[in-house]
Amino acid sequence: GAGVSQSPRYKVAKRGQDVALRCDPISGHVSLFWYQQALGQGPEFLTYFQNEAQLDKSGLPSDRFFAERPEGSVSTLKIQRTQQEDSAVYLCASRQGVNEQFFGPGTRLTVL
Amino acid sequence: GDSVTQMEGPVTLSEEAFLTINCTYTATGYPSLFWYVQYPGEGLQLLLKATKADDKGSNKGFEATYRKETTSFHLEKGSVQVSDSAVYFCALSPLSGGYNKLIFGAGTRLAVHP
């Protein structure tokens, strides 16, 4: 079936704007993860859901970052009052059981 | 805290050369270890993994052995091809995170020329 999809693929925001990034996991995958990848760096963990429950949000850098997965499928990562340091690629991954995480193509966010 | 350190790139090799990309880690207990690859214009893909000490992960001619005594998981391939040009990420999944989140190294860019 289809892999993990993310939208939009590219987002340009002015500093101070709110943005919402969407992730559609592989159908039936219980676990969903968000990562932030700065230019030239490896991905850094942001948060983890099991079904609709957010079990780990230790990587969210500030209270401007908020993630939800209300029906245990699609997830949205919201960033309020964006700052230039929020510019990065935001990756979503999903997993079934304890198997590998499958990554989406990412959303490249540029904050001007 | 838990962390991964991998050799800086870029690594530039001729086709059919031997490849080693070093990776060491810091973690409590026995993390699971992974190599992910990111080809140009594509998303991250799992290349191989190992879940316990002395396990060897292998795929597409690449291999890496989980060395607890040296806290290492070096990636090797005997004969690289131009199509192996990509960015390679070493990662661990720590016990402290319930083996859920992944902690990545900074990535090593490999360029293979004919």
DSSP assignments along chain B, one per residue? --EEEE--S-EEEETT--EEE-EEEE-SS--EEEEEEE-TTS-EEEEEEE-STT-EEEETTEEEE-BTTTTB--EEESS--GGG-EEEEEEEE-GGGTTTS-EE---EEEEEE-
The confidence score (pLDDT) of residue A69 equals 97
Closest-CA residue in chain A for B44? Answer: A103
The confidence score (pLDDT) of residue A66 equals 97
Q: What percent of chain A has pLDDT over 70?
A: 99
Per-residue pLDDT, averaged over A55-78, amounts to 96
Q: Is the predicted pLDDT of residue B41 greater than 70, yes or no?
A: yes
- Whether B107 and chain A come into contact, CB under 8 Å, resolves to yes
Q: Which residues of A touch B106 (CB under 8 A)?
A: 40-42
Instruction: Using DSSP bridges, classify how beta strands B19-21 and A107-111 pair: parallel, antiparallel or unpaired.
Output: unpaired
How near does any CA of chain A get to the CA of B14, in Å? 24
Place of tokens 């039936």: A28
Q: Is the predicted pLDDT of residue A94 greater than 60, yes or no?
A: yes
Q: Is the predicted pLDDT of residue A105 greater than 80, yes or no?
A: yes
Q: Is the predicted pLDDT of residue B80 greater than 90, yes or no?
A: yes
- Whether B102 and chain A come into contact, CB under 8 Å, resolves to yes
| Closest to A37 in 3D by CA, of B46, B50, B102 | B102
Contact A43, B102 (CB under 8 A): yes
The confidence score (pLDDT) of residue B15 equals 97
CB contact under 8 A, A98 and B45: no
Tokens of B68: 């607890």
Per-residue pLDDT, averaged over B55-76, amounts to 97
Tokens of B100: 């859920």
The confidence score (pLDDT) of residue A26 equals 95
Per-residue pLDDT, averaged over A27-31, amounts to 94
Q: Is the predicted pLDDT of residue A1 greater than 80, yes or no?
A: no
Nearest Cβ partner of A42 from B42, B45, B104? B104
A21/A8 Cα distance (integer angstroms): 7
The confidence score (pLDDT) of residue B98 equals 76
Phi, psi torsion values for A85, nearest 5 degrees: -70, -10
Q: Which residues of B touch A59 (CB under 8 A)?
A: 101
The confidence score (pLDDT) of residue B94 equals 86
How near does any CA of chain A get to the CA of B44, in Å? 6
The confidence score (pLDDT) of residue A98 equals 76
The confidence score (pLDDT) of residue B44 equals 94
Closest-CA residue in chain B for A102? Answer: B45
- Whether B53 and chain A come into contact, CB under 8 Å, resolves to no
Contact A49, A93 (CB under 8 A): no
Q: Is the predicted pLDDT of residue B86 greater than 80, yes or no?
A: yes
CB contact under 8 A, A41 and B107: yes
* Confidence band, pLDDT 50/70/90 cuts, at residue A12: very high
